[in-house]
Chain A
Amino acid sequence: MLPLADLRRAVKNALSFASAQADVEEVEVFASTGANLTVRLNYTSHIPSNGVEEPKSTESYGLGIRASFRTPGGVRTGFGSEPTDLSLEGAARALGKARSGAVSDAEYVSLPKLDSALQATPTPTQMKNAAPANYDPAVVRIGGKGLVDAGWRMMDRALDSFQSSEDLMGLTGSAEKMTELGLILGGDVVMFQDRMAIASTHIPKVQSEQNTLIMSFATAMVESQQSKGSGWSVVSKLADFNGEAAAEAARNAIASIGGQRIPSGNYKVILGPQPVAEILEWVLMPGLSLDMFFAGASPFMGKLGQMVASEDFSLYDSGGDPSLPSYKSITDEGLPTGRTDLIRNGKLSGMLSDYYNYQRILNDPAGREKLGVAPADALQSIAPRNGFRPGNGGGRDFGAAPGAISSNLVIEGSQGRTQEELFRLVGDGVYIGRIWYTYPVNGITSGDFSGTIIGDSYLIKDGKLAAPLKPNTVRMNDNVLRLINNTLGIASQHRATVRWSSDQVTWAPEIAIESFGLEEISEYMDGV
């Protein structure tokens, strides 16, 4: 990866170059270098396999330029990028692409400025003293062997858990026959290495940041027993990565042997962190983005400041908390990150926003109708704290234009419930620990969703975990708007959850729900 100093120098030089062009009204230069190192896991005791399947990486670096141009027909705006060239020639090519692709956008106001009442311009001292992002040079230096070792460490932890299991030994009677159980470990370790720098006409001081993040996700199965378990971890320091996610997955798979079916019906349930995160990310969050309000595609149209969830339910994005692993001090638009309350104590409080959509809604004649209050009276709620440029699988990509992306989503309850209290509140019901393919089946506006329960789940009897629930036998059919209004309780403990092909982290607690629609499916599979 290129040094941060190279990016900063390139941004400074490119900004100077672009600003000097006669037709350039305003310009923003973003430089980044990044790598996604991934090792995929595939172990099967009953089918030939490689264990560590794909030690691989993708990497890129380059410049991205947003600019507005004075033309005889008025101001036109465009974006262009150039890979693998931080020189002035590279800047000239990126600017040329921005110019040739520029359009006349009546809703465009300006490139990002520190112009709202919410955002004081950081002084040079403040910027110098900004809290360091989560970054570990050891992750940047890890190299190919280190990547491979991380994958095999996961494999070792899982195989050790399987091999040392008395439950599995009890099923087979000998270590030799344990392979016949159909033991599986799948998943991956993903390491992000990111450096970025940015400056613009309106924020000319070069700002920069570097981030590292390690996410691991493991799924283990005792396939002959139709049991499945999960484990995952999110850390930003290499020393904190120990492969425990694989051992956790193996233990959970073993613990859920002997799963039972349940009949269709409405159940009291506890959603574990992974289901909470999945439903939130795929079904709820799209409707909490400001561009969706502009388009009329949010289920919360016109409800800013109104109750939309149980009083106990709060949801916010905390991009600016340095203690969280996906912390970023500045957005990829050069603006300060911070806390964006989305739903606070049940009340719709804000939306994820980038600068373009922030400006657009402020000038939208229908803005009041769309939000429910005049946008100018809701600056805190729509502040552009989330303009990021994720690339393929996450990161900060010079080739992408900014969009509203969360960093650290946090769900909280106001009552500080313990897990034991949640179980007592449910009494008899279902603990749902892992779900899959949970999509908004009737569009984002409806809140309807469907998905299936695929592991880590149990029946709850008399406020205690009872028998495991058989994976892949229950489909969930419900509505996220009903769900967030029917909470029995929210646990005080959070867990960082991993999202597929993303570096966004969701801090999810267990949530007890009053009534949740479950449908028994796939009975024929018992005979297949």
Chain B
Amino acid sequence: MPRRVSVESLDRFRGNLQSLVAEKAKSLTGLRYCDLRIEIREEKGAVAENGAEKASSEDYAFDFGVRVIAGGRINAAGYFGRVLGTTDLDRLEDVVWDGITQAHSRARASARQKSQMKGRYAHLGSSLTSTELAPVTVCQDTVLAAYTVDPRQVPLSETVKMAVDGCKTLQSQGSNIVYSASSTSTFLLRELFLSSDGADIDQSFAQTEGFAIAICAGANGNFEHYDFTGHQRGWEVMTDGYSNGPIIIPNFMDFCRKLGADAVEVAAAPPLKPPDKEVTVVTNPHFNTLLVHEVVGHPSELDRALKYETGYAGRSWFLKDMQDNQLGNQIASPLVTAYSDPTIEGYGSFKYDHEGTPARRAYILRDGVLEEFLNNRQTAAIMGVAPNGSARSTEAQLVPLIRMTNTIFGPGQQDPQDIISEVQDGYYIDGHRTPSIAESRENFRITAVKVYEIKNGQLGQLYRDGGITSDSRDYFMSIDAVGNDLRVNPIPNCGKGQPMQAKRMSNGGPTMRGVARLTGPG
């Protein structure tokens, strides 16, 4: 009987795999670079519906991915990924070597074709270039997970009870909640990153997450309300909540209670009838969590800016080309600063990204001026800048993409109550719901959970089915107040890539005030 897969299983292979990548791989013809990511996740979780248990599971995930850059006069990259299991514990070096050779074969084949294509298209082929990676400090390090309650020690039955109790709590908020569901999960993830440059990085993460949804009957139709909670910590996040600076996470019962109460309140509200003009809007931290994600974070990803995502996730209005772009330009009010920082605490924290690049803060907007793109080693080489550690995948078998980390609007100086009380006529936009963003992120429509009228500095009538829309630059230039109430929230499911990868990260911001058009039903 083969051994059981656990995060400790990687201890046995770390040395041999490093030798495979850093020594044996170099014997492959034309190999310029190779890296291997291999990970094991021990996870458990449960689902409840309408207050009753529906499913639970305790399992592992074990997989690896390889990148090889190879060629001759011109280089190209090839990749390979595979799911692993218990039986692979006794043959892991052979399985990984097979993956390396397949990635190498693809890289060489692509390099040959790239060279031929350059020859076939004398002018149009001139931009086809050899694949290069910007240099990074080669690191060897071990990073331990932070938790109080080890996810592996939590009885599966406790995750079930938490999901069921959360669901019941949610449902108890109103008899007009016609459906409720919740889920809980907690896991310990260990990742190895090994490269032919000599990188040898061992990082572990504890992650705990909850989800709840309520569907609530109302005079104007059923209202769906859902949200996520979670943090890079152990099970204590669910039982006790977590609070540290801008991260304020309620325990799961309180999270479900508020979600249910909000659903009941909003379902009873009238639909917003938006005025046909721009209005003053005060957006709260939860709404700004999605706003910074969609309209600042995504266009700052350099793969989008360099057109890699033209076919799918879209480009970025921040960059037309290497010469004509918004770097150094004032594209937001001087009150607006936004940065991506995996070194601070959040749902997207790490010490090294999935290329082994040490993490650091990258200022996207500083005082309203576009300062830096999020990049990986390949796009950094094209731009001639230093990598800032933004390459990550959701699973080792998948190719790392340029990703937000903990990407937030920086806090300002004002009391959020003052920001509201200064408004004679306006609207308070509370909680994010669903985004629809233009292709290069130059325009957005984002709906809110709640929209309140502001009259004479006071919150008034609550409306449902509202939101705001604006051209991105106009909106950010209109920001005239930024609060001191920064909050950082988990975003568990940012989709990007082909096949799509749903990535966890943090986003957030303080209360902010600007000018936009309201949206309503339709």
Contacts and interface: CB of A to CB of B under 8 A. Distances in A.
A218 B498 CA distance: 13
A56 interface: yes
B19 to A, nearest CB: 23
Given A104-B53, A148-B113, A472-B442, A44 B127 contact: yes
Q: Which of the listed residues B105, B131, B306, B312 has the most CB atoms from chain A within 10 Å of its own CB?
A: B312
B322 interface: yes
Interface string A421-446: 00000000000000011111111111
A147 B107 CA distance: 11
A2 interface: no
B6 interface: no
B28 interface: no
B332 to A, nearest CB: 13
Given A103-B160, A479-B522, A525-B442, A90 B52 contact: no
A433 B381 CA distance: 36
A501 B102 contact: no
B225 to A, nearest CB: 8
Contacts of A217: 311
Contacts of A176: 123
Interface residues of A, number: 117
A199 interface: no
B382 interface: yes
A186 B55 CA distance: 41
Contacts of B443: 452, 472, 475, 521-522
A451 B437 CA distance: 7
Contacts of B105: 144-145
Q: Which of the listed residues A151, A297, A528 has the most CB atoms from chain B within 10 Å of its own CB?
A: A528
A147 B86 contact: no
A477 B445 contact: yes
Interface string A513-528: 0000101011111001
B439 A295 contact: no
B436 A446 contact: no
B371 to A, nearest CB: 18
Given A101-B156, A178-B124, A186-B307, A442 B447 contact: yes
B57 A79 contact: yes
Given A38-B498, A296-B222, A100 B399 contact: no
Interface string B322-344: 10001000000000000000000
B79 A55 contact: yes
Contacts of A522: 438, 442-443, 471
B436 A89 contact: no
Interface in B207-238: 215, 217, 221-224
Contact of B434 (A38, A57, A60, A440): A440
Interface string A77-89: 0111111110101
A357 to B, nearest CB: 11
A82 B469 CA distance: 47
Contacts of A263: none
B391 to A, nearest CB: 13
B438 A521 contact: yes
Contact of B59 (A57, A80, A449): A80
A163 B121 contact: yes
B81 A58 contact: yes
Interface in A37-55: 38, 40-55
A242 interface: no
Interface string B58-81: 110010000000000000111111
A48 B127 contact: yes
Interface size class of B (residues with CB under 8 A): 35 or more
A101 B56 contact: yes
A85 B85 contact: yes
Contacts of A87: 87
Interface in B442-493: 442-443, 445, 447, 465, 467, 469, 471, 473-474
A148 B110 contact: yes
Interface string A135-175: 00000000011011101100110010011000000000001
A55 to B, nearest CB: 4
A50 B128 contact: yes
A100 B114 contact: no
B123 A84 contact: no
Contacts of B83: 58-60, 62, 83-84, 399
B178 interface: yes
Interface string B506-522: 00000000000001011
A448 interface: yes
Interface in B260-296: none
Given A85-B87, A152-B113, A479-B522, A55 B308 contact: no
Given A144-B106, A475-B445, A525-B317, A38 B499 contact: yes
A478 interface: yes
The 3 closest A-B pairs by CB, nearest first: A393-B499, A84-B85, A186-B310
Interface of A: 36, 38, 40-60, 62, 78-85, 87, 89-90, 93, 97, 100-107, 144-145, 147-149, 151-152, 155-156, 159, 162-163, 175-176, 178-179, 182-184, 186-188, 190, 217-219, 221, 223, 294-297, 301, 392-394, 399, 401, 436-446, 448-452, 454, 471-472, 475, 477-479, 482, 500-501, 517, 519, 521-525, 528
Interface of B: 1-2, 46, 52-59, 62, 76-88, 102, 105-107, 109-110, 113-114, 117, 120-129, 131, 156, 160, 178-179, 181, 215, 217, 221-224, 306-312, 314, 317, 320-322, 326, 382, 395, 397-399, 433-440, 442-443, 445, 447, 465, 467, 469, 471, 473-474, 495, 497-500, 519, 521-522
Given A100-B58, A104-B53, A522-B442, 12 more contacts: A45-B124, A55-B79, A84-B87, A103-B53, A105-B53, A144-B106, A175-B123, A178-B124, A446-B221, A517-B522, A522-B471, A523-B471
6 contacts: A84-B85, A103-B54, A107-B52, A147-B106, A443-B222, A443-B224
